[in-house]
Structures are given as structure tokens and as C-alpha cells.
Amino acid sequence: MEVKIEASWKELLQPEFDKPYFELLTSFVRKQYQQETCFPPAKLIFNAYNLCPFDQVKVVIIGQDPYHNVGQANGLCFSVNDGVPFPPSLHNIFKEIQSDLHIAPPVSGNLERWAKQGVLLLNAILTVRLNEPGSHQNKGWEDFTDTTISLINERKKNVVFILWGNYAQQKGKFIDKRKHCVLMAPHPSPLSASRGFFGCHHFSQANAYLQAHHLSPIAW
């Protein structure tokens, strides 16, 4: 199957594109976008990959599925379009960055600036219906993104995996901690942020690890 995605990822993921599950997934997603309001916009479904080629991946942050309200999702986990108010989890992420690195919160919640520095902002599920979180679960996206994580785990070294909450931690449970840095904390949502997300210092820890392995830090 022909899929429009950044060249390095296309080469690595072509075996997935040719599998029966991906054909079924593509058919499902195509019908959903034709018949329902879905997010992100179709051209941004693979935005995380397109903005962060495989050889540039230094950090992986794993989310669950895209924001499901109008105008929010842009294909990067936790990120929203310019001018969109910060959702609660993103607000808490910026609050932790401010505390950890003494950086003032940004004006925009668009995290493309992270992606272009080598942060793969990967949702486990890449699409969703309007106002229905989890509506595209168990259709094949989880297999696809598991393969993505496996490829990074196997073919790269010294990548920082940031896993917030049980869902992300289960998703990344097979990552080789001898080759990579795995940072875990509760999810930044208001329901759990005060249970250990605040004060986790993941942003300074990620940069310290990258610099210790002769990689440039992220300008969070």
C-alpha cells in the first residue's frame, strides 16, 4: 500500500503498510473521515513522523489519542494549534517546565518546535471522532505505533522515552533500559498531576542524558 509519510519512516514502516491489518485500518479511517467529523485533519495524521524523521529522533513522548474537540488536534501528542487555549494536561506540562527549567510558559501550545528538534510526539492512536475519545481504539493503530516504538528501541540508542501515566508506561514496557533512558511519572492531567508529575524534572533529566551522550539538548 502507498502511504504518504516522511521518506525514512516510509522505508522502515513499509512492511506494516503491506499487512492486512493496515489495509483494514486504512479502510476504516477513510470511511470515518468521509462519514464523520474526525481529527486531526487527514493531511496531519502522520504529522509526528513527517516533522521528526527517524534519524533525528532523540526523545519520544507517548500520548493516547488525539484531542477530540474542533480545532485542537494537529497530529502531535499534547500539542494544539496556534491560538488554541491550552488543554489542562498541556497547561500542566508547561507548568512543570517552568518549575524545572525556569522557562516562562510559551504563548502557543503548538509543539512543532519540539518535533523539529527531534522529539517524536507519538499518540498510540492517530485518529479520533469528534467528541468521542477512544473512538478509534482497537482498529490497528496500536499495532502500528507499537512497531514504531520497537524500531526506535531496536535500531537506535540513547533515546529518551518519556512515559506519563499507565497507558504510556504499558505501551513502552518492552523498551531496553540498557540502551535508552526511560522516564516515568503520573499523567499530567489534573486528575493525577499532583501525584508525582509535578516535580518529576523530566525535562532537565532528558537534557542531561542527551548531553551526557554528546547529543544537543531540547529547547523546551
Strands 38-39 and 128-129: antiparallel
Among candidates 7, 91, 89, 98, which has minimal Cα distance to 56? Answer: 7
Told to judge if 18 belongs to the known catalytic residues of this protein, a careful annotator would answer no
Angle ∠(73,135,125) on CA atoms, nearest 5: 55
**Of 55, 65, 82, 143, which residue is the catalytic one?**
65
Distance CA 163, CA 187 (A): 8
Distance CA 178, CA 16 (A): 27
| Three-state secondary structure call for residue 62 | strand
Q: Catalytic residues, which ones? A: 65
